Amino acid sequence: MAVKLTARQQQILDLIRSEIIRTGFPPTRAEIASVLGFRSPNAAEDHLKALARKGAIELTPGASRGIRLTETGPVGGLAADLGGSSLSRAFAPLLVPLVGRVAAGSPILAAEHVEREVGIEPSLFTQTPDYLLRVRGLSMRDAGILDGDLLAVRKSPEARNGQIVVARLGDEVTVKRFSRHGRHIQLLPENPDFEPINVSSDDEFSLEGIAVGLIRSTPLQ
């Protein structure tokens, strides 16, 4: 990076990178403040704005996890825009199916759901995705997942608390944060305009996969 960072800025940048590698998504301001001992998320916001001015990150207004690394190289999380130069350079692509709308009751990778195959750089994510899912709606807005984004998903029938998952509940497929306490499962949105989904023992429920990263297919505003 051409611009020199302060020790604190480098610490925050390292934290962002490690969280993206660990979970597939950047930390919130509150999480940064908690880990680094700031008195409030506003202090974290000030440092993030400084990092953005120096070109180390890009910020998405209004999203608590709207932080995107701009450094080159694999980071295991948010990728460049599909039309951006970093994905147009030459590489041996990994072809991954892009899933659009999922019809009620049919397998998520059924042929009628696959819009096309997308070539991605194999090192783009720390875990290789099995498919990309086109996000519908804004229920995960504060996790930095917006309508039209492509969520990279690794197929898995199990998930840990706090992971972002693709879940099937009845005839619907949804993207939410997974929470299990004993036998009680909740699917949690990242937008206060949406209510948590409580999964009962009578519901037809299954996990379609775990999010391992995100590709923004529209330009950042």
Read off the pLDDT of residues 74-113 as tens digits, 9 standing for 90 and up.
Answer: 333 333 333 333 333 333 467 788 888 776 656 777 777 7
The pLDDT of residue 113? 79
Average pLDDT value for residue range 30-35: 88
Q: Which pLDDT band holds residue 48 (cuts at 50, 70, 90)?
A: very high
CATH class name, domain 85-215: mainly beta
Exposure b/e, 169-207, CB count within 10 A at least 16 = b: beeebbbbbbbeeeeebebbbbeeeeeebebeeeeeeeb
List residues with catalytic annotation.
Answer: 139, 176
CATH class name, domain 7-69: mainly alpha
The predicted model scores a pTM of 0.58
* Fold match flag (7-69 vs 85-215): no
Domain ranges of the chain: 7-69, 85-215
What are the residue ranges of helices labelled H in 6-119? 7-23, 29-36, 41-53, 85-88
